[in-house]
Structure 1
């Protein structure tokens, strides 16, 4: 178990760094698998709604910045008009 900075609670860790380099190690050591799944869902919405291409270096840089803000605190982009489903 790790203390997840995103969820502010003890949670199950990921089994490997999800991205290469120093950022990947920071995520591995401070972000839970549950929080990473939340990011993956948010990232998918950003890619779809903003028509991003992962082949474009600017799109990848944008997503990396949004990932850091989403996971570690910051004013990250929201998808306009999105209303989460009620449980």
Structure 2
């Protein structure tokens, strides 16, 4: 059975995630309040941030930056793509 959430990012009722994106209270909050569509958008933005900023996923500074940008993207405002970023042509 499909689960729907009132997505905080999109402001609409959308299909919810099928499982927690990661353990803990933040993972549960995302599961309860973010749609599959918005999460997919975040994963694309996360990949772009990691690549454009040449981040190493095992460094704590990089993890903290990605977490902060995730919260801005999904729940708040202030998310910006890196300066000079040119999206790929499709």
Task: Decide: shared fold, TM above 0.5.
Answer: yes
Structure 2 match to 1:70: 73
Count residues in correspondence.
Answer: 87
Q: Which residue among 22, 35, 40 is the counterpart of 2:38?
A: 35
Which runs of structure 2 are paired with 1:3-22 in the superposition (5 Å)? 3-22=6-25
The Cα of 1:2 is off from its aligned counterpart by: 1.1
TM-score, normalised on structure 2? 0.87
* Alpha-carbon offset, residue 81 of structure 1: 2.7
Structure 2: state its 5+ residue gaps: none
C-alpha displacement of 1:84: 4.6
TM-score of the superposed pair, with normalisation by structure 1: 0.90
Q: CA deviation at 1:78?
A: 1.3
The 2-side partners of 1:60 and 1:66 are apart by: 10
Secondary structure in 1 matching 2:47: helix
Is contact 2:5–2:32 with CA below 8 Å preserved after alignment? yes
RMSD: 1.7
2:61 aligned with 1:58: yes
